[in-house]
Amino acid sequence: MTLDLRGKYIFSFLLLVLIAIVTANIYLEYTLGEWLETQLVTELRRHATVGRLLAESPESVSDNKDFDRFVNIFGHDPDIRITYISDDGRVLGDSHRSGAALRAMENHRSRPEVVAALQEGFGISRRESATLEQGMLYVALPFRQPEGGQGVVRAAVPLEGVQALTSRLRLSIIVAGLIAIMTAISLSGLFAHWTTHSQRHVIACAQTMAHSARAPRIEIHADDALAGLASSLNLLAEEKNETLALLAERQSQMLAVLQSMHEGVIALDGRLMITLMNRSVMELLRLQQAPVGEAVQHILPQRMSAQLGLERLHLPSQPFSTEFELEGPVVRRVAAVVTPLHEHPGHVIVLRDVTEKRRLDAMRRDFVANVSHELRTPVSVLQANAQTLLEGALEDKKYSRILVSAMERNASRLGKLIADLLDLSRLEADQFTMEIQSLSLLSVVQDVVDLVRMAAQQKEIGLRVAVDERMSIWADAEGLRRILINFLDNAIKYTPNGSQVEVRTSEQQGQWRLEVVDNGPGIAPQHCDRVFERFYRVDSGRSRKMGGTGLGLSIVKHLAEKMGETVGMEGVEPHGSVFWLSLSRVVWVG
């Protein structure tokens, strides 16, 4: 249902009144209920105080008849229930129970108000009475029993009266609210008619302007609040300027979007003149300003123009794409998509720098080729040796043992290569789970050194640890061990017999690092940036002879990145290498 302006005013006014009434109802009900309960608690505490004074009077004795006499004093008020309870929970007297019924009452030691009174000196509880089976409000005070110890005098009142009073209060507020709503309906109609008279007049005239060739002029009153709107409707000539401003704003928004695009965009008219060029193209072609109005073939490099067919001063009428190299300080690979404009002469050229994408594609191809090459050798050995054994070499125990031994070595190499490939795949797919925790760095280093100690002893290589025992780091324990094992394993493999390998920590420009230093032959500077690539080997023949897969340092790099750290390699003077892992979260213990 669609409301007119007057109906909206009436509806809004009634809605506000209704919200105010509901809010007042909730507030008053809550406030008065809280006030009433406070008054009841005060009244009950006064009765309990009188009961305590009676119980602590010199004339009181320890037998229950006196307590019966005390509770009978309150018997004139049937709504107030007084109960005397001993410190062990026995009911000594109750204004609503006597005789056998009194003796049959259950132990009250665990009642919340009794517990609070004995422990804190005052107890209050609002709950269902197990004896009377109705909601009660309890107030309890402790008293000193004549024979020693503490008892509790408790005053209670049914909550039915409070609930009845609250219901009557709610009904009164609802009736008052209904009266207010009826009054508001009458007043809102008059108010809406009075306030919307001018608006309805302006709306009627505006509708006439929209549907008639000659629109009547709207009468303007100097003291009318709608005089500004009436003047605007009379000045329809300003609509053209507003429309032009809107078009200019939209064009500005379109240009802002184009200038923010990562892809380069060139718009051409039917004569191949540049009508638009965004910032990405200017950066790609190293232009200082957009050459709007110039011929595109004079702006683009010659190779790009040839690829796009601009040398023939035309572009195809169907979309097409091409790719070329753009010369400069850094040679970049650029993909271009040319699309003709619909219903307008001209074309749009979209340029995208795909240098990094092509580099990743080349790395992917190299990776596949390297994996194939690495798998071919052990598989060929296994196949050849198995064929030789099947052809009769099994009868020659000495020769067959050599063949089987070679098969076992190559199978082990193949298994390690597959395991490394799986680990690398999991790391790159972000499926490798890590548990970052606080670790004692010295403890982890000692564990790894103990694992490689036998291999170092076989080559008479000394292992030295220089790590402060107070240093603790936040890292994944298994990931840190694998990084260290790889660093130490490479250092032991490629360091000559009788050398020295050291595991140490150092601080470089405020950043702590864990370093593995050897005094081996070192690595040439041109290889330092690539040693962490997959299957990259400084000396391929020697690496394969040592049994490496070419994936260890790549796995190390991914593990470090997953822990939020970095790895690197540097040369050591006069010879040797240092492989390091950054430690960004160091904590000193002790």
Residues 348 and 383 both lie in one domain: no
Assigned domain for 312 exists: yes
Q: For 425-443, what is each residue's pLDDT tens digit?
A: 776 667 677 888 888 888 9
Assigned domain for 171 exists: no
Q: For 210-263, what is each residue's pLDDT tens digit?
A: 555 555 666 655 455 566 666 666 666 456 556 667 777 777 777 777 777 778
Last residue of a domain, one of 331, 353, 375: 353
Assigned domain for 178 exists: no
Q: What percent of the chain has pLDDT over 70?
A: 75
Assigned domain for 15 exists: yes
Last residue of a domain, one of 405, 428, 451: 428
Assigned domain for 177 exists: no
Residues 232 and 253 both lie in one domain: no
Residues 485 and 573 both lie in one domain: yes
Tokens of 334: 């650029």
Helix (H, G, I), strand (E, B) or coil at 565: coil
Assigned domain for 174 exists: no
Partnered with residue 224 across adjacent β-strands are none
Q: Name the burial class of residue 243, with classes exposed (0-12), middle (13-18) and buried (19+) by CB atoms within 10 angstroms of its CB.
A: exposed
Domain of 41, CATH number, reads 3.30.450.20
Residues 140 and 15 both lie in one domain: yes
Residues 158 and 33 both lie in one domain: yes
For residue 193, name the pLDDT band (cuts at 50, 70, 90): low
Q: Look at the chain and report how many structural domains it folds into.
A: 5
Assigned domain for 173 exists: no
423 phi-psi bin (left φ>0, alpha ψ -120 to 50, beta other): alpha
For 96, the domain range is 9-164
pTM, full prediction: 0.42
Residues 527 and 440 both lie in one domain: yes
Residues 128 and 77 both lie in one domain: yes
Residues 339 and 364 both lie in one domain: no
Residues 96 and 54 both lie in one domain: yes
Residues 37 and 140 both lie in one domain: yes
Assigned domain for 493 exists: yes
Closest CA to 18 of 185, 171, 137, 204: 185
Measured between alpha carbons, how far is 13 from 188 in angstroms, rounded to an integer? 7
Domain of 375, CATH number, reads 1.10.287.130
Asked whether residue 374 carries a pLDDT value surpassing 70, the answer given is: no
Domain of 470, CATH number, reads 3.30.565.10
Last residue of a domain, one of 139, 164, 189: 164
Residues 339 and 414 both lie in one domain: no
Residues 144 and 210 both lie in one domain: no
Cβ-proximal residues to 533 (8 Å cutoff; 6+ apart), any chain: 363, 554
